[in-house]
A and B are shown apart, each in its own frame.
Chain A
């Protein structure tokens, strides 16, 4: 099968922009704190006081990301979402249910040591430690569209390796039909797991799942970095899943367990609201979320209020050519 992955010819121009944005990051974090305070003044105080008080007093020392060696992507026709936005607009409820909270609350997250286990229906169970994540496989750049179920999207240059490479190494048995993924459960480090208000009322640890053939698809990526560096914690450090043809909630972050199983697992959002979130969660403009349309999306690129684009959402987020065959003869309205 021929896989077309949209990539960049030369990243020089982007690199320059990145550095500028990078230089602005310190002030950026400070400003985030300022907005919090300003927002607080205009609201009735109650609910947010705790978090913002904490961050106005303490200066957030950004998590240290390290540069990675990787094979650059070849060509890319899409405008990338700036690094500063990719790393400050996150759905990672373990660090707060509001989009700006993970960037603030995750900076002290410890990723070393780390252990990712591959277990269940495999002939050779594997445990990867922190260094293994970056050394066991060749790291390549993949520029993917990320479509959130909330109808916004980004274009992100991920670094990582195909999940298939890891699974092949573990050798799934004949019984393996599904793959279950689990995020770290550590309420001491992840305030959303110990505080219901921060955690947005979902159950922890966060669990996601894929069918084995979805997991083995060459597009399915285990990401260890973005924009040339290791992942910041708000984006799911040190290792996360990226499934570009599915809604963002499938792309589970800060992975500690990958387990091969016989039966379809229950994924977190589906368990919470079965009518609103399915197991498959393939990006599909024809199947609306009960509370909003999925026919179009807002692409988050650079700039402020007036530079937002509403664009049409494509079936399978534009990756139909690579993945539509996985769902032949399936009613995608029933299996949303």
Chain B
């Protein structure tokens, strides 16, 4: 077998992740900028990056249950990369909104963040995700010690906020966001003991 050792498997996985995450983005912006492919490229790039960020977040959360169930410990080694790509997509999502939809009207942006619950929720989720992305650096992880794990448990809060953000953002097409809420709950139920213990975090470990 070619991909026998874990080192090689991880390398292959990483190549696949980079390709699968970056190619659609390059394709998206190329098409949105160059041709009249979409009548409203602004909404297209916002939705594409938004749903992409959510997908990647769910895949990130799928890693540890998969690793446990199939006893594939090495999968955990690509989890950070997946999480960072989720952040990258979320960053583009926000950038698209500010740059192409609001066109750098920061007064409007500020008002929208305060006034629209779905944007407020989205911004809270994005701020937390940014914090996680920054503290994913090795030296910060070491520096933070135990606090690091506590901080990174907020991923469960983030995914719930993102699911709400999606559900509240649509006009009447509730089926797709409902499916996403279902997937979110499923991933939380899989790790219910951990989530429950976090909810009663006053107790000793």
Contacts and interface: CB of A to CB of B under 8 A. Distances in A.
A298 B175 contact: no
Interface in B22-42: 24, 27, 29, 31-42
Given A42-B52, A291-B118, A300-B40, A310 B31 contact: no
Interface stretch (B72-80, B103-111, B125-133): B103-111
A50 B86 CA distance: 26
B67 interface: no
Contacts of B174: 201
B35 A308 contact: no
Interface in A29-65: 31-32, 35, 38-39, 41-44, 46-47
A304 B112 contact: no
B24 A200 contact: no
B97 to A, nearest CB: 11
A39 B48 contact: yes
A43 B33 contact: no
Contact of B42 (A35, A97, A298): A298
A46 B179 contact: yes
Contact of A99 (B32, B36, B40, B117): B40
B116 A291 contact: yes
Contacts of A32: 37
Nearest to A196: B175
A220 interface: no
Interface string A169-197: 00000000000000000000000000011
Given A43-B52, A200-B171, A308-B100, A85 B179 contact: no
Contacts of A310: 101-103, 105
Contact of B29 (A150, A295, A305): A305
Given A97-B173, A300-B40, A304-B34, A293 B112 contact: yes
Interface residues of A, number: 45
A47 B179 contact: yes
Nearest to B183: A44
Contacts, number: 107
A202 B48 contact: no
Interface SS of B by simple majority: helix
A82 B36 contact: yes
A330 interface: no
B123 interface: no
Given A202-B172, A291-B168, A302 B36 contact: yes
B63 interface: no
B35 A296 contact: no
B39 A85 contact: yes
Contacts of A85: 36, 39-40
Report the contact-size class of chain B (Cβ under 8 Å from the partner): 35 or more
Contacts of A300: 39-40
A152 B42 CA distance: 10
A142 to B, nearest CB: 21
Contacts of B181: none
Interface in B135-150: none
B202 interface: no
B39 A89 contact: yes
Contacts of B27: 38
B10 interface: no
B36 A295 contact: no
B43 interface: yes
A293 B111 contact: yes
A320 B27 CA distance: 43
A123 B55 CA distance: 59
A288 B12 CA distance: 50
Contacts of A293: 108, 111-112, 115
A273 interface: yes
A38 B45 CA distance: 13
A305 B32 contact: yes
A248 B143 CA distance: 56
Interface in B78-103: 100-103
Contacts of B185: none
Contacts of A152: 40, 43
Contacts of B35: 31, 304
A310 B98 CA distance: 12
Contacts of A88: 39
Given A43-B52, A302-B36, A304-B35, 7 more contacts: A43-B51, A44-B55, A150-B171, A293-B111, A304-B32, A310-B102, A310-B105
10 contacts: A38-B24, A41-B24, A82-B36, A85-B39, A89-B40, A272-B172, A292-B116, A298-B40, A304-B36, A308-B41
Nearest 7 CB-CB pairings of A with B = A89-B39, A42-B24, A85-B39, A305-B32, A200-B173, A310-B103, A201-B172
